[in-house]
């Protein structure tokens, strides 16, 4: 069984480590976070791995995962490079969606790769139960890619290969659907709050429609899933909602305009008549008062 060291066993690192250890794919050997307390907590969560205070004090391993924040990956790779320079068979990878494996090139002659799981690791306890079925975008040196394809397949993930130059746009696509969906939920809850509906009740109200909308999109695609006043060309309703939002919170009104324009574009590809589309575009493009 190959051994794996992790620098930055945070939300993603400790989830993957625990799953790989349980599956018997990797033997988790050494862990190193910024703080000793966090490293010890990660070892406890994983159920394996020795907590180390520095990269220099970590044991040798076949494979290294650098799973600190994206901004620290290059700096940590530079610290790791002299530590592994005598071991050309070593594999080093990170899991950032935004960066390619290029940021690890300082670790050569080790084989380098990036493997981005399209999953939100908000809560590691939940993620260990829900990661299976997620997709993982992999790119890098052949030896590293081959190992990571097997490692993530062992966790029942789907593998997709990506060109390094496409990673930024690929990641922006994930940000729209994951992070911006969360921001949309917040905008919705703030709007309900302004209408006197408290959060728990609003979440109860939203759960079936949000899940149904997601299911419709997966099954029918966005064009056929769009319902509501913009899809119907109901200009008066859109004007009334915009006015109410402007009188409540400028950011809510601004977001309603921007997303409304995206809805008009989508509705035009469906049944929205050109005249209604033009009226809606003009209304939603007016500068916020
Ligand atoms: N979270 C997600 O949903 C998600 C999804 C896909 C990909 N990713 C990628 O996964 C990576 C990690 O994200 P995350 O959400 O797991 O981050 P995180 O929970 O903030 O964990 C980062 C870990 O890195 C450690 N760290 C930071 N700087 C370090 C350094 N210089 N040396 C050693 N350890 C250091 C931190 O230690 P302390 O605990 O001591 O501060 C922390 O344990 C990122 O590349 C991210 O893009 C994340």
Contact 90, 110 (CB under 8 A): yes
Together in a domain, 7 and 95: yes
Together in a domain, 122 and 12: yes
Together in a domain, 244 and 158: no
Range of the domain at 241: 177-285
Together in a domain, 150 and 188: no
Together in a domain, 269 and 220: yes
Q: What is the pLDDT of residue 286?
A: 83
Together in a domain, 123 and 254: no
Together in a domain, 86 and 12: yes
Find the 12 Cα to ligand 1 centroid distance in Å. Answer: 7
Q: Is the CB–ligand 1 distance for residue 10 below 6 Å? A: yes
Q: Is residue 172 part of a domain?
A: no
Helix residue ranges per DSSP H, 195-249: 199-220, 222-225, 229-232, 235-246
Q: Is the CB–ligand 1 distance for residue 41 below 6 Å? A: no
Together in a domain, 130 and 222: no
Q: Is residue 251 part of a domain?
A: yes
Q: What is the pLDDT of residue 289?
A: 52
Task: List Cβ neighbours of 35 (8 Å cut-off, separation of 6 or more).
Answer: none
Burial class (CB in 10 A: 0-12, 13-18, 19+), 241: middle
Q: Is residue 21 part of a domain?
A: yes
Per-residue confidence in pLDDT tens, the chain, 289 aa:
999 999 999 999 999 999 999 999 999 999 999 999 999 999 999 999 999 999 999 999 999 999 999 999 999 999 999 999 889 899 999 999 999 999 999 999 999 999 999 999 999 999 999 999 999 999 999 999 999 999 999 999 999 999 999 999 999 999 999 999 999 999 999 999 999 999 999 999 999 999 999 999 999 999 999 999 999 999 999 999 999 999 999 999 999 999 999 999 999 999 999 999 999 999 999 875 5
Q: Is residue 154 part of a domain?
A: yes
Token pair for 170: 């690929």
Together in a domain, 23 and 152: yes
Burial class (CB in 10 A: 0-12, 13-18, 19+), 215: exposed
CATH number of residue 155's parent domain: 3.40.50.720
Find the 96 Cα to ligand 1 centroid distance in Å. Answer: 9
Q: Is residue 51 part of a domain?
A: yes
Q: What is the pLDDT of residue 288?
A: 58
Q: Is the CB–ligand 1 distance for residue 35 below 6 Å? A: yes
Together in a domain, 49 and 184: no
Q: Is residue 87 part of a domain?
A: yes
> Given the CA of residue 117, which atom of ligand 1 is nearest to it?
6
Total domain count, the chain: 2
> Given the CA of residue 98, which atom of ligand 1 is nearest to it?
47
> Given the CA of residue 69, which atom of ligand 1 is nearest to it?
44
CA distances in angstroms from 118 to 9, 57, 131, 172, 239, listed in the order given: 18, 32, 9, 12, 37
Q: Which residues pair with 160 in a beta bridge?
A: 137
Q: Is the CB–ligand 1 distance for residue 32 below 6 Å? A: yes
Together in a domain, 38 and 84: yes
Tell which of 139, 165, 191 closes a domain. Answer: 165
Find the 86 Cα to ligand 1 centroid distance in Å. Answer: 27
Token pair for 57: 């004090």
> Cis peptide before 8, with omega less than 30 degrees from 0?
no
Strand 135-140 versus strand 111-117 pairing type:
antiparallel
> Given the CA of residue 37, which atom of ligand 1 is nearest to it?
40
Q: What is the pLDDT of residue 287?
A: 72
Task: List Cβ neighbours of 197 (8 Å cut-off, separation of 6 or more).
Answer: 205
Together in a domain, 154 and 262: no
Tell which of 112, 138, 165 closes a domain. Answer: 165
Helix residue ranges per DSSP H, 61-196: 70-84, 124-130, 142-153, 167-177, 179-194
Q: Is residue 170 part of a domain?
A: no
Q: Is the CB–ligand 1 distance for residue 174 below 6 Å? A: no
Tell which of 136, 165, 194 closes a domain. Answer: 165
Distance CA 171, CA 58 (A): 31
Q: Is residue 137 part of a domain?
A: yes
Residue nearest to atom 48 of ligand 1 (CA): 12
> Given the CA of residue 14, which atom of ligand 1 is nearest to it?
16
């Amino acid at each position: 069984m190959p051994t794996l060291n992790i620098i930055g066993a945070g939300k993603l690192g400790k989830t993957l480590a625990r799953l790989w250890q349980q599956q018997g794919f990797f033997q988790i050997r050494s862990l190193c976070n910024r703080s000793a307390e966090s490293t010890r907590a990660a070892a406890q969560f994983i159920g394996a791995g020795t907590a180390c205070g520095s990269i220099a004090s970590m044991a040798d391993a076949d494979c290294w995962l650098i799973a600190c924040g994206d901004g620290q990956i290059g700096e940590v790779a530079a610290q790791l490079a002299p530590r592994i320079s005598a071991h050309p068979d070593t594999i080093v990878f990170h899991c950032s969606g935004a960066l390619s494996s290029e940021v690890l090139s300082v670790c050569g002659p080790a084989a380098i790769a990036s493997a981005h799981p399209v999953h939100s690791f908000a809560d590691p306890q939940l993620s260990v139960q829900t990661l299976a079925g997620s997709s993982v975008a992999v790119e890098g040196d052949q030896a590293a890619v081959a190992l990571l394809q097997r490692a993530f397949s062992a966790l029942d993930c789907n593998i997709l290969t990506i060109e390094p130059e496409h990673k930024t746009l690929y990641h922006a696509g994930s940000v729209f659907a994951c992070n911006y969906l969360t921001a949309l939920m917040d905008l919705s809850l703030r709007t309900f709050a302004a209408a006197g509906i408290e959060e728990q009740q609003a979440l109860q109200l939203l759960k079936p429609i949000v899940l149904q909308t997601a299911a419709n999109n997966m099954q029918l695609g966005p064009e056929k899933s769009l319902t509501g006043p913009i899809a119907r060309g109901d200009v008066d309703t859109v004007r009334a909602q915009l006015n109410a939002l402007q009188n409540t919170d400028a950011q809510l009104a601004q977001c309603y305009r921007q997303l409304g324009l995206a809805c008009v574009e989508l509705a035009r590809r469906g049944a929205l008549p050109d005249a209604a589309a033009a009226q809606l575009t003009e209304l939603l493009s007016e500068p916020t008062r």
